[in-house]
Amino acid sequence: MKEKLYAIPVNDAFSGDCECPVCLMRKTLEDAAIEYTMGPSYMEDDTRMQTDEKGFCQKHMEMIYTSGNKLGIALILKTHFDRVIRETSSLSEKTDEKKGLFKKTASDGKSPLLSYLEKLNSSCFVCERIGQVFDRYIDTIFYLWKSDSTFKERYTHSNGFCNEHFRLLMEKAPDSLRGSDLDEFVTITRQLYQSNMERVRDDLAWFIDKFDYRNADAPWKNSKDAIPRAMIKSNGIIQNDK
């Protein structure tokens, strides 16, 4: 059963003190996917065919760039460019120059060139590699909620979630949970989200108050890293040094 396979990384994420354990699970997958992309695999034909076709989204292109292997990046980008140039020039030739780019020919009502570019601009080798396993991780949260009281305890005492993963958990819960399992999950997840958003909001408030000269000698309490923690809650950004 796949859910059992993923129980360890899911439990690990919920054991830490991250402001969103789901973000932490995703970040671990993301780092592994970047490492894979820039490891020996980019010289393998089937991986290269996929990176040539899909390319990378803005975020992952930046992560790949900062990963350091400049020769590898240049090789991957060169054959990706070869593919994009070949596809766009052949689709442009098929487009009637005078009637223009906007002539609707494909089944989705768009010209083949625009359809190709839309697909290209929304595809990313790293996002797709993360996506399937990430979905299984989410299923595993629900599986463990039903079957593992230790996990349930861990979940209930976590630091809550970012906006996006609160949405995701609320949306997906009815697909995997029923009856009292579902009711309890929804109630606890809502409370967790709300109370932990308030906690981080209060940390931000004290961070602001510390700028008042009258508080110069007051303790920071839990506010020193309020901004990076708030960035996880609001945008799912986990900084590498955090």
Select the residue interacting with Zn ion from 18, 33, 114, 124 (CB under 5 A).
124
Residue 60 in the binding site for Zn ion (CB under 5 A): yes
Interface pick for Zn ion out of 7, 13, 18, 20 (rule CB under 5 A): 20
Identify which range of 16-24, 47-55, 84-92, 222-230 contacts Zn ion by CB under 5 A: 16-24
Rg (CA), the chain: 23
Q: In whole angstroms, give the CA distance from residue 155 to residue 93.
A: 56
Structure tokens at 230: 């708030």
How many residues make contact with Zn ion (CB under 5 A)?
11
Residues 23-42 close enough to bind Zn ion by CB under 5 A: 23
Q: Is 22 in the site for Zn ion (CB under 5 A)?
A: yes
Helix (H) or strand (E) segment spanning residue 208: helix 179-209
x/- contact string, 150-189, with Zn ion (CB under 5 A)?
A: ------------x--x------------------------
CA angle 229, 231, 236 (to 5 degrees): 105
Instruction: Candidates 32-40, 87-95, 127-135, 140-148: pick the segment binding Zn ion (CB under 5 A).
Output: 127-135
Select the span of 14-22, 182-190, 212-220, 223-231 touching Zn ion (CB under 5 A): 14-22
Nearest to 146 by CA among 170, 176, 175, 174: 176
Number of Cα atoms under 13 Å in the Cβ half of residue 240: 5
Q: Examine residue 127 and tell whether it contacts Zn ion (CB under 5 A).
A: yes
Contacts of 215 (CB under 8 A, 6+ apart): 209
- CA–CA separation, 217 vs 220, rounded Å? 9
Query: Binding residues for Zn ion, per CB under 5 A?
Result: 20, 22-23, 57, 60, 124, 126-127, 162, 165, 236
